[in-house]
Every structure is written in structure tokens, then in C-alpha cells.
Structure 1
Amino acid sequence: MTDARILEVQAELAALDDPTTRAANERRGDTHGVNLAQLRALAKRVKADHELALELWATGDTASRLLAILICRPKAFGTDELDAMMRAEPTPKGHDWLVNYVVKKSPHLETLRLAWLDDTDPLVVSAAWALNAEQVVKHPELLDLPGLLDTIEAEMPDAPARVQWEMNTTLAMIGIHHPALRARAIDIGERLEVLKDYPTPPNCTSPFAPIWIGEMVRRQTAK
């Protein structure tokens, strides 16, 4: 039954593949041509199905993996499974969704965060820093926040692009959510100037940490 269903689902994904969408995604390093709103609609129709998710992931096809992430049961994965999945998914969207929709909902989040911080694979390290940012907001008692700022200050300028992005997010989260460290976070951002010139659409907040922190704090104060 599952074999028939995976063929049916993959046929639907193939039908949704659009050359224009694929070309746009490939410029960003993503290897699929499915509109994400349509992908989410398909996931809603398929509903949660962990066994099917595992089979879709195993195909290695990017669109199939994105769908797998949406229909899996994050708490059903063990640490070794999540570690292997992280190392096997190089595309930006697949990596981002895996971290945000699966690992962040896993009971193994903290174990993986600690293990991945010392890894040599930049993709894995970037996942660890994404989890740092998550814990800065939700469980700061588990972290050495001044120590994180020390590491960011020393390593962010020369970090690989994805690691740098997540370090910058961690920096911003510390500044936004921890007033006692806000001035230092802003100072680090201003001196390092990471993402200062990042192209930002109108009505969106710049990822440059001092601007990001200032805007979020302003919104908090305005409530």
C-alpha cells in the first residue's frame, strides 16, 4: 500500500514541477520546481504519515524530502537518524525546514545542539547555531550567553556563509531577548558589520543585527 502511495504522491509532485519556479530556486541553490504553497497544500491532503515520510526522504529528491519534512512525526526520530538526515541534505530550503520543522520539535534538540557545535561540516555547525538561537529565546538557562557573544565576536566575520547567518541570528536574539546583554550585542554587530549591506525588501527588517535588535525592541515597547 505504501509503495503505491509513494508513487501516487511523487506523480503529484512531478505534476506540480514548474520550470520557471525551478530556475528561480536553482539560483538560490535549491533543486526543486514546486511552489511551496502548493507543496504545503499537498502535505495537508496527504496528512501526517511517518512511514511515507521516511520513504519520500530516502528518494533523495528535494521536493520529496520537503514533503517528507511536512508529514513526518518529528518526535519519532532518534538522534542518529536526525544526524544522518542533517548530513544528507545540502539544499538551503531542505536544511532550513529540517532544522525548523523537525529538529526544533525533537526531544533530542539539546543533545544535537551540543554535538553539532564541534563538528567540522559547516552545514552541521550552522544547524547547531540555529539551535543556539532557539535556546537563547526558549531555554537561555542552558547557555553561557556571554560566552556565545565571545565566540560570535571572534568567529562570525570569517565563518562560512550559513554559519555566519545563524551566528548573526543568535546575536540578534541575545540582543532582543536579554536586555542586560543588549548593548554588547549591538556593539558587536556595529563593529563587525556582518550583513550590514544585505539587500532587504521594503517593509522588511534588515538582518543587520543592530537594526534587527532595535526594530524588535521598538515593537515590544510599543505593545
Structure 2
Amino acid sequence: MDLDMVMQELEAMGKEQIKKRYLNNGAREPLFGVATGEMKPILKKTKLDQPLAEQLYATGNYDAMYLAGIIAEPNAMTDADYDRWMDAAYFYMLSDYVVAVTLSEADIAQEVADRWIASGEDLRMSAGWSCYCWLLGSRPDREFSENKLAEMLDQVEKTIHDAPERTKYSMNSFIYTVAISYTPLHDKAIATANAVGPVEVMSDKGKTKSLIAVDNINKFLARGKLGFKRRHVRC
């Protein structure tokens, strides 16, 4: 399939209700409103195809950019390529659920995520913390440095309340992901969650809400999810 064929299929699958939901979450035109699960049949036709992924991502169409993440070849992308994708990721559904997800399947994932966390830019920081969540939730514990993750938990405890808004979400997710998916630091992550307490975040619509990591931890534990690892990150 070429770019025009894929774009025609995406347009045919678009639904106005889904489009409105994406727009309410921060997406902008152009987009069709395609449910992400409905993109799987396209993947079966294209297989992984990095050149096509690059063409789709460059359209600026949200649905096409999301599909780009599904068909991309993570290890074919360099750190500069990931930076370029982040430059075009204008809201969190792209930074955290397309770019960070794709990066999490690359060999350079931790290296790039570390750099983004240190960048001081909200969406890059958010993507960096999110990437670690995807990594921890899918890769064996042996692939991570316990000392490094412990230091990251300390960093979250010290800085989350003053972090940029979107980064707060990802830092909060990092706490409970460590608690559930990285068992060597389960107890420390719980202690971090309790020390942090509720984290106030402001939505784009001016409303505030509280993120409470320990509540998420308890929900996962109640469902017997301690040590949870997903088989695949991308759909």
C-alpha cells in the first residue's frame, strides 16, 4: 500500500464522534477520527514499513501519525529521528502514545528517554517518563538498573509537584508502574507514592483534579497484577 491508499482507508474509517473526542483531548485538524483498534487491518497489509511510516507522520494528520507509530520500525530510527518526531508531537496523545510507545521498542530507548526527561520541555519530559512506563511494563526486570530507577523515584518525589502539567501525569504513572511492574522496587515505589500524596493537575479547560498514585497501585494489586508485563506495547 502507498500513502494515498492508506489515507483513503483512514478517511473511510473516520467517525465524527471519535473525531470530536480527539479534538476535545487536544488534537487538531487535519484528522478523520479513526478508532485505534480499527487500524490493525491496515498493519496486516503494510507490515512494518519505516518509509511509509515517515510519510504518514509527515502529513500532520493525527490518525495518520498514530498509524505511523504502529507500522514504524523502532530500531530503524535514530535518536535524531525520534527528536524529529517529538518536534511534531503537538499534544500528549502523540508524545506519550505514539512517539514514546515507538521509542520503547528501540534499543536506544533509555538513552533517548533520559535526555528528554532532562530537557525541561513539558511534552519531551512527559514522553521520557512515559517511555519508561512502557519499558517497565513490557521488558524483564534484568534490563534495568535498580539504582537508577531508585534515583528516578527520588527525583519524582522531589520535583513532581512543581513539574509542568503533562509531566505530572507521566511522573505519577511512573510511580505506580514501578510499584507494579518492577518488583525489586515495589516497596520503595509505594513509599514514594505515600510521600508524594495527591498531585494537583490543571486541565486545558481550567479544571483541577488530583492524581493519587497509591490508589492506582492498590487497584492493580487488588486485581492480582503485581509483576505485570504486557507481551506487546504497540497494537
**Residue 11, structure 1, aligned to residue 16, structure 2:** no
Structure number having the greater helix percentage: 1
Aligned equivalents of 1:123 and 1:36: distance in 2? 21
User: In the alignment, which residue of structure 2 is the partner of 1:187?
Assistant: 194
Aligned residues of 1:117 and 1:125 also touching (Cα < 8 A): yes
Larger mean Cα displacement after TM superposition, 43-52 or 68-77? 43-52
Whether the 8 Å CA contact 2:69–2:98 is kept in 1: the answer is yes
Distance 1:220 1:39, change over 3 A: closer
Greater RCO (CA < 8 Å, at least 6 residues apart): 2
Is 1:119 aligned to residue 119 of structure 2? yes
C-alpha displacement of 1:164: 0.5
Q: Deviation at 1:124?
A: 0.5
Match in the other structure for 2:173:
169
Look up the SS of the partner of 2:113 in the other structure. helix
Contact 2:91 2:123 in 1 (8 A): no
Verify the 8 A CA contact 2:157 2:192 in the aligned structure 1. no
Which is further off, 60-69 or 180-189?
180-189
| CA shift for structure 1 position 136 | 5.3
Cα-to-partner distance string for 1:69-105 (whole Å, 9 max, x where unaligned)? 1112111101111111112112332223324431001
> 1:162-210, CA deviations, whole angstroms, 9 ceiling, x for partnerless residues?
20011111111233332341452232243xx1269xxxxxxxxx96211
Q: Give the TM-score normalised by the residue count of structure 2.
A: 0.77
Q: Secondary structure at the match of 1:144?
A: helix
Cα distance between partner residues in 2 of 1:96 and 1:44: 24
Deviation of 1:155 after TM superposition, in Å, equals: 1.5
What root-mean-square deviation, in Å, do the aligned CA atoms of Structure 1 and Structure 2 show? 2.7
Largest Rg, 1 or 2: 1
TM-score (norm 1): 0.80
Deviations 1:35-80 (A, max 9, x none): 2222233223332222211111122221111111111211110111
Secondary structure class of the residue paired with 1:105 = coil
Deviations 1:117-149 (A, max 9, x none): 221321111111123435556434164344323
Aligned to 2:18: 21
The 1:162/1:188 distance shift into structure 2, 3 A limit, reads same
Unpaired segments ≥5 residues, structure 2:
202-209, 227-235
Residues 153, 189 of structure 2: 8 Å contact kept: no
- State the number of aligned residues: 208
* Structure 1 partner of 2:206: none
1:1-223 maps to which residues of 2 (within 5 A)? 5-31=2-28, 32=31, 33-134=33-134, 138=141, 139-141=143-145, 143-176=147-180, 177=183, 178-190=185-197, 193-194=198-199, 208-218=212-222, 219-220=224-225
Report SS of the residue matched to 2:199: coil
d(CA) in 1 for partners of 2:13 and 2:193?
Answer: 44
CA–CA separation in structure 2 for the residues paired with 1:208 and 1:180: 16
Give the aligned partner of residue 200 of structure 1.
none
Same amino acid, percent of matched pairs? 22
CA distance in structure 1 between the aligned counterparts of 2:5 and 2:186, rounded to whole angstroms: 52
Please list every run of 5 or more consecutive structure 1 residues that lacks an aligned counterpart in the other structure: 197-205
Structure 1 CA distance, aligned partners of 2:128 and 2:218? Answer: 25
> Is the contact between residue 39 and residue 67 of structure 2 (CA under 8 Å) also seen in structure 1?
yes
Q: Could you list the runs of 4 or more consecutive aligned residues of structure 1 that deviate by over 4 angstroms after TM superposition?
A: 134-137
In structure 2, do the counterparts of structure 1 residues 187 and 97 end up closer, same or farther at CA, with 3 Å as the change threshold? closer
